[in-house]
Amino acid sequence: MKTRRLGKSPIHVSDICMGTMTFGNQADEAMSHRILDKSFEAGIDFFDTAENYPVPPKEEYAGRTEEIVGRWMKTKNRDAIIMATKVCGPSHGWLKGSQRAGKTALDRHNIIKAVEDSLRRLQTDYIDLYQTHWPDHGARYEDALRALDDLVESGKVRVLGCSNETSWGLTKSVAVAERYGLARYETIQNNFSLNNRRFEDELAQVCRQEGVSLIPYSPLAGGVLTGKYQNGARPAGARFSAYLQMGGRQEVMARRFVNDKTISSTERFTAIAEEAGMSVTTLATAWSKQHDFVASTIVGVTHEDQLPDIFAAADLVLEKEVMKKIDTVTKDILYPMG
């Protein structure tokens, strides 16, 4: 498993990261631990969770994922693991946090409370990468960054990152950190896949110029790129099968991922993968890693049987001809996720 640097920090991680947002919901604890064990044995040393997991967020099981990960981590050498987690962010917008009675915000009170609770659930005394899950563009960035900087100074957190940020937000945060001499965001965790290449429009250039690493999530476009939703299929137990029935935010999200354009592009990507002699899961994971601004691609599974196709991408470099074919699909079906 190859490693890459997180931003300009001293930390290097495996270029595949195991995400955990299904743990405690779609995957029970026993399965979650098998997934983590097999990932660790395959050379993955980077794991990502959040105080708001599992998804969809609900107050009755908020934090369950961190508890499952924490019990697993106690069976391993802590120094061998790079653990990432997140503080919710504001609850007045698109996503309402399930922690702290849904009153989450990026202020000192919430950040300190969140990190102390995450440390307890993870059963550790430090977090390697601590991230803001959602930004608050109406608040002063220095308020959150000062609290986060104190966590770095105290040793409870090693490096900082953000998630679901914009070009403006990432640039602003770096400028504020430089102005006040605060620890900056070394990573950005945003949605990035064959079906959603919007990151390349502007944010990739911000990452290159500022030395910030993308750790993309959903490289399989929420499972759509596996082909499970082709021809109108709605497999039992699949996330978007459930979300399409839930209404509200979940249904809106599902229809962004599962629509005529994403189904058409997935069909063509599947054909490219078959011609290249691999599964579309392997193709999509390898493609995600094959960008200069990416440090580690976050994958997620609900069952250990889904791991081999992901692991097959570990040392795979897609040929130029394959990359050209992928780009042709992107040009023919622009922005399938909107």
Q: Which residue has the tokens 């309402």?
A: 96
d(C-alpha 84, C-alpha 161), whole Å: 9
pLDDT of residue 34: 98
pLDDT of residue 57: 87
The proportion of the chain whose per-residue pLDDT surpasses 70, expressed as a percent, equals 100
Tokens of 260: 């005529």
- Give the mean pLDDT of 79-84: 98
Residues 54 and 61: their CA atoms lie apart, in Å, by 7
Amino acid at 30: A
Backbone dihedral angles phi then psi of residue 223, each to the nearest 5 degrees: 95, -10
Structure tokens belonging to residue 223: 């499972």
Read off the pLDDT band of 107 (50, 70, 90).
Answer: very high
Contacts of 233 (CB under 8 A, 6+ apart): none
| Alpha carbons 285 and 299: distance in angstroms, whole number | 8
Phi, then psi, of 290 in degrees rounded to 5 = -90, 50
Is there a contact between 16 and 297 (Cβ–Cβ < 8 Å)? yes
Kindly give the interhelix angle for 167-180 and 141-154, rounded to the nearest 10 degrees.
60
The token pair that represents 281 in the structure block: 């899961």
3-class DSSP state of 1:
coil
The DSSP result for 94-163, as a single string, is: S---SSGGG---SSHHHHHHHHHHHHHHHT-S-EEEEEESS--TTS-HHHHHHHHHHHHHHTSEEEEEEE
Strand arrangement of the beta sheet that strand 297-299 belongs to: 213-214, 185-189, 157-163, 127-132, 82-87, 46-48, 16-19, 297-299
Active site residues: 53
Q: What pLDDT is stored for residue 238 in this prediction?
A: 87
Q: How far apart are CA 209 and CA 211, in angstroms?
A: 6
- Mean pLDDT, range 6-27, rounded to an integer: 97
pLDDT digits (tens, 9 = 90+) for 119-142: 999 999 999 999 999 999 999 999
189-198 pLDDT, tens digit each = 999 999 999 9
C-alpha distances out from residue 75 to 46, 80, 219, 235, Å: 16, 11, 29, 34
For residues 104 and 90, give the distance between their C-alpha atoms in angstroms, rounded to a whole number. 5
- pLDDT score of 199: 98
pLDDT, tens digit (0-9, with 9 covering 90-100), for 270-317: 999 999 999 999 999 999 999 999 999 999 999 999 999 999 999 999
The single residue listed with the structure tokens 């599962």 is 258
| pLDDT of amino acid 56 | 86
Per-residue model confidence as pLDDT tens digits over 20-62? 999 999 999 999 999 999 999 999 999 999 999 999 888 999 9
Angle at 26 between CA 190 and CA 88, to 5 degrees: 40
What is residue 256's DSSP assignment? H
Tell me, what's the pLDDT at 171?
Answer: 98
Q: What is the dihedral of CA 22, 23, 26, 32, to 10 degrees?
A: 120
- β-pair partners for 189: 163
E strands, the chain, in order: 3-5, 12-14, 16-19, 46-48, 82-87, 127-132, 157-163, 185-189, 213-214, 297-299
Q: For the stretch 86-119, what's the b/e string if a residue is b when 16 or more beta carbons lie within 10 angstroms of its beta carbon?
A: bbbbbbeeebbbbbbeeebbbbeebbbbbbebbb
pTM: 0.96
Query: Tens of pLDDT along 198-244?
Result: 999 999 999 999 999 999 999 999 999 999 999 999 998 888 998 88
pLDDT mean over 160-183: 98
